[in-house]
Structure 1
Amino acid sequence: MKRLLAAAAVLATLAQAAAAGEITLFTDSDFRGARLSIDRDAYNLADMGFNDRASSLVVRSGVWQVCENKDFGGYCAEFGPGEYRELPRFNDRISSVREISRGRGGDDRRGGPGWRGERDDRRDDRRDERGGRGDAVQLFSGQRFEGPAVSLSGDVRELNDVGFNDRAGSIVIHEGRWEFCEHGDFRGQCVVFGPGRYPFLEGMNNRISSMRRVR
């Protein structure tokens, strides 16, 4: 019986490890230099000798929150599976990381060209650790919600700060109305989108440089 219980415990541990996401941090841009792979919450990267050292990262699975201070404090942003060659806003400033979702979700193959999004009346059940709603906006590098993604919940004057300048090819808005502009500081051509799913961005494809909530 003891052997059976021990074997079950080992299998449970292996299953949990297999389900966990993974993020790899690199000390230099373009995935060069020393690296650190993480598959669990890291409250203080100083404990791993990697505080304020990351200049690029790869998310192999899961969605990860990256923060400039330890204990997930200060400015934070979320990164889905993908390769991020540069981290202008976080260059040598990452002090803590944690996985917040093990499923991407939102990969909807419906829709067609045009500005009209697909309003989704289904509730977003994604919760953060404080029990609130998940992030308000998700930007995807590819059309139809494909490719690397970043999730945001506040105004961003320069998307270059999160490594996503001129990269958005589709958008999901979970709540609020948001203005997206082609230049930093909300300048140039701008459009406003409300809650919904926008698989194509037509004239703004790969041209969004700033965003802010307008209601």
Structure 2
Amino acid sequence: MKLTNLILALCATLMMAAAADAQRGGGNRSLTLYSGLNFTGESVTIRSDVVNFQTINFNDRAQSIRVEGAGSWTLCHHANFRGVCHQFSDDVGNLNPFQLAGHVSSARMEYDAGTGGPGGPGSLDRPRNGIVLFEGHHYNGASVHIRHDNLNLMGRNFNDLARSVLIARGEAWEFCEHANYRGRCITLDDDTRNLGPYNMNDTVSSVRRVYDSGRPGGGYPGGGYGDGSLTLYSGPNFTGQSINIDRETYNLTRQGWNDRAMSLVVEGSGSWTICEDEGFGSPCRTVSGRVRNLDAFGLGNRVTSVRPEGYNDPGYYGPGGGYGPDGTLTLFAGPNFNGPSIVIDRETYNLTRQGWNDRAMSAIVNGYGEWTVCEDANFGTPCRTISGRVRNLNAYGLGNRISSVRPEGGGYYGPKSGVWR
């Protein structure tokens, strides 16, 4: 009799544990998507990441969703988790307010609260990587998962909405009150239930990773991860030879890449315009994220010129900033093209007259050509010759030490001229 009672007690305990595990999600986590509002119409249930809903015949059909089990799911406009994305941990009877109704093309399982999922046992539901911003305190309300540097959260429909944030283990992120990492910024390396004490409630407009212990050579700054540059590949699906481009390029012939690209990756946020003819001659297409085959845009082995979008907006690089005319030099007071800036279009023996002696921490040579930058007035050594984009002049031993500058090649580089005048 005692043995029978013991067996019954053990069975009851196991059943209770199973019920608790089911309530937490356990191994029974799923997402059900419905073609109609309020969980009506045809449906499909997934239990793992789906990178392209065309494979399950449900692309751009979902109007409502049910979330089963613990944790959350991220739903995105485009395949491969690109475009507008939102994270959900509860049922949603209408995806319209999130701009996802009839536009879901990929979905990803995020984390498993307290059940030993990616966040770890007893974790605070941290994402696997990146950050999750919430519109409410204590991780409540609508949310968005950010994995790469984002210079303007308006693109994710989350500008000035964040009130709390979850941060992946080993990562630190910078949160800024204005787009393009301007205005007041703070750096956080742990989950924050309330951004109020930092005076950042409903204020965050741009975010970027400043440290990632799990990504050797990656993160920001210095690793090139998510830096907005363009990588072209000679083969489809990111195969073959490749080239990384970080500036407007009127003709890829000089780089040996005219009519060679078959796939590309836009690193981090932002977009690029790619054109068939030199000088951005049409046809052109604007791309972002990862393009596995440029034949889809009619530009396989036909790209001749490329340019980043948004870089010429007034003030893009801060007060007085942005690109200058081709061949000029733009100096910035902060690294990574931040802070006040000045555009210089001629040989300058002493930057003191411009109020820029020993102030520059980063620089851009606009267009083609090179500039020599020197530590002392009158081009006194040490000097370095630079081109393109220099994110931190400390790499040349000249951070906050430049006193004179001059263009190389004999003169001013006229707008879109292609030659020195």
- 8 Å contact kept, 2:137–2:164: yes
1:44 to 52, 74, 78: 52
Q: Is the CA contact (8 Å cut-off) linking 2:77 and 2:85 kept in structure 1?
A: no
Question: Aligned equivalents of 1:46 and 1:100: distance in 2?
Answer: 21
Give me the TM-score of the superposition, normalised by structure 2.
0.33
> What CA RMSD, in Å, does the superposition of the two structures yield over aligned residues?
4.2
Question: Which has the higher relative contact order, 1 or 2, with Cα contacts under 8 A spaced 6 or more apart?
Answer: 1
- SS of the equivalent of 2:172 reads coil
Instruction: Report the CA distance between 1:184 and its aligned residue.
Output: 4.2
For residue 86 of structure 1, what is the aligned residue in structure 2? 97
CA distance in 2, matches of 1:199, 1:79: 17
Specify the alignment match of 1:63 in structure 2: 72
Map residues 1-215 of structure 1 onto 2, 5 A cutoff.
19-25=27-33, 36=43, 38-41=45-48, 42-54=50-62, 59=67, 61=69, 62-70=71-79, 72=80, 74=82, 77=85, 79-82=87-90, 83=92, 85-88=96-99, 93-103=103-113, 125=120, 134-174=128-168, 175-181=171-177, 183-187=178-182, 189-202=183-196, 203-214=199-210, 215=220
Percent identity between the two aligned chains: 24
Post-superposition Cα deviations, 1:60-80, rounded to whole Å, max 9, x if no partner, equal 65322334554x364585614
Q: Secondary structure at the match of 2:204?
A: coil
- Is contact 2:31–2:47 with CA below 8 Å preserved after alignment? no
Change (3 A) 1:35 1:180: farther
Indicate the SS of the match to 1:176.
strand
Structure 2: give runs of 5+ residues left out of the alignment.
Answer: 1-14, 122-126, 211-219, 221-421
Q: Deviations over 1:71-101 (max 9, x none)?
A: x36458561414564345x675532223243
Indicate how the Cα distance of structure 1 residues 74 and 85 shifts in structure 2: closer, same or farther if over 3 A, else same. Answer: closer
Report the number of matched residues. 174
CA distance in 2, matches of 1:23, 1:39: 5
Shift of the 31–158 alpha-carbon distance from structure 1 to 2, 3 Å rule, reads farther
Q: Report the CA distance shift for 1:25/1:197 in structure 2 as closer, same or farther (over 3 A).
A: same
Over 3 Å counting, the alpha-carbon distance change for 1:32 and 1:206 in structure 2 is farther
Which ranges of structure 1 fall in alignment gaps of 5 or more residues?
A: 1-10, 106-123, 127-132
Indicate if the aligned counterparts of 1:157 and 1:185 stay in contact, CA closer than 8 A. Answer: yes
Contact 2:51/2:81 (<8 A) preserved: no
The structure that has the greater radius of gyration is 2
Which residue identity is paired with 1:64?
W
Q: Equivalents in 1 of 2:141, 2:114: separation in Å? A: 11
Measure the CA separation in 1 of the matches of 2:184 and 2:66: 31
